[in-house]
């Protein structure tokens, strides 16, 4: 028997590994392509930034006398989060300068409602910033609102609260919560507690961010009108705008000789249909990684074409942040759709497949009402599309049936990313 020959050593393999990413600075390289990276230069959003500044100018000019409520609307990847972060941070730096004793302190809170899912959690998060050791449990939303209101006055604060991805708050809770926030000014609490007549609203400013242009119409009319009429719309990026965003990111993260304008323009044209900068940046990242994997020192158009199938049109963390049963339900739908090669499945079919999958994973399935609630969550997150349809057979009505589709994500992507969960669940104690 011959022993297989080995013409390299492990350390040689490592040593020879070349990369298209810049490595000379820890703040460069792959890091600039990740979703947690905040770019220093923001492109083609001057008008939106100016609009924000002009709506919230009073925070600078007369911080305790006027409150503002603004809504940002725009589709996926149009820079809403990045602009609101930049605005909040700039304002914080600006207002920290030349502060005199007695001037109100400015605080900016950016809450992502997809991660911080309930009004209770949002208020607790804010209060924990203001009061160290504030308990996570034990108070109702009304009590938390009352404490928050008092703190604005007691700590001499002016607050800008950004509620990002507001669409993910449960609709019933969202309306009540936004109504209460928009009406903080009418709270009689200061008069009750301190006999103070000061109008409180002036200390609280709200920026709401949504992807849904009909957002206002889901609110009742009094909430909609208290939220104000200040709307800033973010349009999808054009191809040349995407090119500039890509070029500045490439300059930071990639070695100059490893990409060309043609590569950036190809990516910009692929992302143009939705005008989504996240998709564009991620596609450049994936293409660069392919170059590394293939041991090439240049990104080619072919690599971009290959990488396209790997870039999900939704943010990957949307799936990562689901709880394990929501993931199992999503996996059931993806499996059914891919096995049956149908465009949609029905809810009873999904329930049956979910129970089979739970058996495979050795976990107890959730009850039907909980499964329905999880399906509604997945629908709200845009991961599935749920519809009620009228069914007919031979001209006769067969009643209404709820159907489920997955439009935006290839089912094989869902299956390959969620399948490992089955093995993981098997290792866990029974839930
Ligand atoms: N004008 C810009 N200049 C530089 N980078 C940008 C710009 N707009 C967006 N990006 C980048 O594109 C990605 C998506 O941007 P962002 O997260 O702000 O989008 P969004 O509108 O909040 O999307 P979503 O609705 O999905 O939350 C981020 O990596 C961000 O850094
Ligand atoms: Mg965002």
Nearest CA to ligand 1 atom 13: 278
Tell me how many helices (H) and strands (E) the chain has: 19, 8
Nearest CA to ligand 1 atom 1: 43
The DSSP output letter for 18 is: -
- Which pLDDT belongs to residue 1? 47
Residue 254 CA to residue 228 CA, distance in Å, equals 44
- Which pLDDT belongs to residue 234? 96
The widest CA-to-CA distance across the chain, in whole angstroms, is 95
Q: By mean pLDDT, which of 64-78, 112-126, 162-176, 303-317 is the weakest?
A: 303-317
What confidence tier does 12 reach under pLDDT thresholds 50, 70, 90?
Answer: low
79 pairs with which residues across the strands? Answer: none
Interval 155-175 mean pLDDT: 87
**Residue 164 Cα: closest atom of ligand 1:** 27
- 419 alpha carbon to ligand 2 midpoint, in Å? 28
Q: Which structural domains are found in the chain, ordered by start?
A: 19-29+238-308 (1.10.8.60), 46-233 (3.40.50.300), 316-427 (1.10.10.10)
- Which pLDDT belongs to residue 2? 47
Nearest CA to ligand 1 atom 9: 79
- Which pLDDT belongs to residue 431? 43
- 232 alpha carbon to ligand 1 midpoint, in Å? 15
pLDDT cut 70: percent of the chain above it: 87
**pLDDT: which is higher, 53 or 397:** 53
Query: Are residues 166 and 30 in contact, defined by beta-carbon separation less than 8 angstroms?
Result: no
> What is the strand order of the sheet 385-393 is part of?
345-346, 396-405, 385-393
Which residues are near ligand 1 (CB < 6 Å)?
35, 39, 42-45, 74, 76-82, 165, 211, 245, 277-278, 281, 315
**Residue 75 Cα: closest atom of ligand 1:** 25
45 pairs with which residues across the strands? Answer: none
**Residue 78 Cα: closest atom of ligand 1:** 21
Residue 245 CA to residue 328 CA, distance in Å, equals 37
The pTM of the full predicted model, rounded to 2 decimals, is: 0.78
Q: What tens digit of pLDDT does each residue of 255-290 get?
A: 999 999 999 999 999 999 889 999 999 999 999 999
């Amino acid at each position: 028997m011959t022993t297989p020959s080995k013409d390299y050593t492990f350390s040689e393999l490592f040593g020879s590994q070349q990369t298209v990413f810049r490595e000379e600075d820890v703040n460069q390289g792959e890091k600039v392509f990740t979703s947690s990276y905040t770019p220093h230069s923001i492109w083609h959003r001057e008008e939106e930034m100016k609009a924000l500044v002009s709506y919230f100018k009073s925070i600078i000019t007369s911080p305790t006398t006027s409150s503002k409520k603004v809504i940002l609307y725009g589709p996926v990847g149009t820079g809403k989060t990045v602009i609101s972060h930049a605005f909040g941070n700039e304002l914080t730096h600006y207002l920290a300068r030349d502060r005199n004793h007695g001037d109100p302190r400015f605080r900016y809170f950016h809450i992502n409602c997809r991660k911080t899912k309930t009004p209770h959690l949002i208020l607790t998060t804010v209060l924990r910033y203001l009061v160290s050791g504030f308990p996570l449990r034990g108070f109702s939303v009304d009590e938390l609102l009352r404490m928050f209101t008092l703190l604005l006055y007691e700590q001499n604060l002016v607050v800008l609260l950004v509620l990002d991805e507001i669409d993910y708050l449960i609709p019933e809770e969202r309306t009540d919560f936004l109504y209460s926030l928009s009406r903080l000014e009418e709270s009689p609490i200061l008069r009750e507690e301190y006999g103070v007549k000061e109008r409180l609203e002036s200390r609280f400013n709200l920026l709401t961010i949504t992807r849904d242009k009909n957002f206002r119409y889901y609110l009742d009319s009094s909430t909609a009108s208290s939220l104000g009429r200040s709307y800033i719309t973010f349009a999808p990026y054009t191809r040349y705008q995407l090119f500039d965003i890509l070029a500045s990111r490439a300059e930071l993260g990639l070695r100059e000789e490893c990409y060309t304008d043609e590569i950036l323009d190809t990516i910009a044209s692929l992302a143009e249909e939705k005008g989504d900068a996240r998709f564009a940046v991620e596609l450049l990242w994936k293409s660069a990684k392919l170059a590394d994997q293939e041991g090439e020192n240049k990104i080619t158009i072919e690599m971009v074409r290959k990488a396209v199938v790997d870039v999900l049109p939704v943010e990957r963390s949307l799936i990562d942040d689901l709880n394990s049963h929501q993931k199992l339900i999503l996996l059931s739908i993806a499996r059914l759709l891919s096995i049956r090669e149908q465009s949609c499945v029905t809810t009873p079919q999904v329930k049956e497949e979910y129970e089979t999958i739970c058996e495979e994973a050795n976990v107890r399935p959730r009850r039907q009402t909980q499964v329905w609630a999880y399906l509604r969550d997945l629908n709200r997150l845009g991961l599935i599309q749920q519809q009620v349809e009228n069914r007919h057979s031979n001209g006769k009505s067969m009643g209404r049936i709820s159907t489920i589709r997955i439009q935006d994500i290839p089912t094989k992507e869902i299956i390959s990313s969620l399948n490992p969960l089955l093995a993981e669940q098997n290792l866990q104690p029974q839930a």
